[in-house]
Chains A and B, each alone.
Chain A
């Protein structure tokens, strides 16, 4: 079974600064996706960024980028130019390709952006 570990329960950052959220995972699979989801106080789950394991290039979406280290099974999220609206819970998730396509989540990191 796959497991996802987020070792930072809470983090804080000053507005306009950069912050990195950590995620490690354990799997014997070779084909999979990794995701970061954002959950603001509204409770809505919002996809931030995804990474295909077969791609060596790190995914980027505007101010959000990942550092994907497949051999180390590490998938960190970097948020640049942090904004107050980035305050949220962030969940790292793993999805094996083929089969049920279900997401396995980490326990989350609560990020607070301070003015």
Chain B
């Protein structure tokens, strides 16, 4: 299917466990982003990537790790999950031209207990 997909849609994990959220896009977009959405904070950027093997920190990167070995995939890993990382996570992608819009995945609701 064309588009941008995130998996899983819902995840419950325990404090201290490692968890990886997957993001896959089929457009070969150069830019990919991870945001977290929390009540009262809107969407905050965790990490972003301008191309394969190029990643950079966003506003709230602590506790997260990303990789981008292939253009179409941009997984987000919580190395040791904490309750403060309970959130809804959105992946987005965007092409290089300045007037192209960013497309968002459906979001992953992560609960850390």
Enumerate chain A interface residues (CB-CB to B < 8 A): 6, 33, 35, 43-45, 47, 50, 52, 91, 97, 100-108
Contact = CB atoms under 8 A, between A and B. Distances in A.
B31 A45 contact: no
Interface of B: 31, 33, 35, 40-45, 48, 50, 56, 58, 88, 90, 92, 94, 98-99, 101-102, 104, 106-107
Contacts of A108: 42
B43 A52 contact: no
B27 to A, nearest CB: 15
A46 B102 CA distance: 9
Contacts of A6: 42
Given A91-B42, A97-B98, A107-B40, A102 B48 contact: yes
Interface of chain A, main secondary structure: loop
A103 B106 contact: no
16 contacts: A33-B98, A33-B99, A35-B101, A43-B107, A44-B104, A45-B92, A91-B43, A100-B48, A100-B56, A101-B94, A102-B31, A103-B45, A104-B45, A105-B44, A107-B42, A108-B42
Contacts of B90: 45
Contacts of B101: 35, 47, 50
Contacts of B99: 33, 50, 52
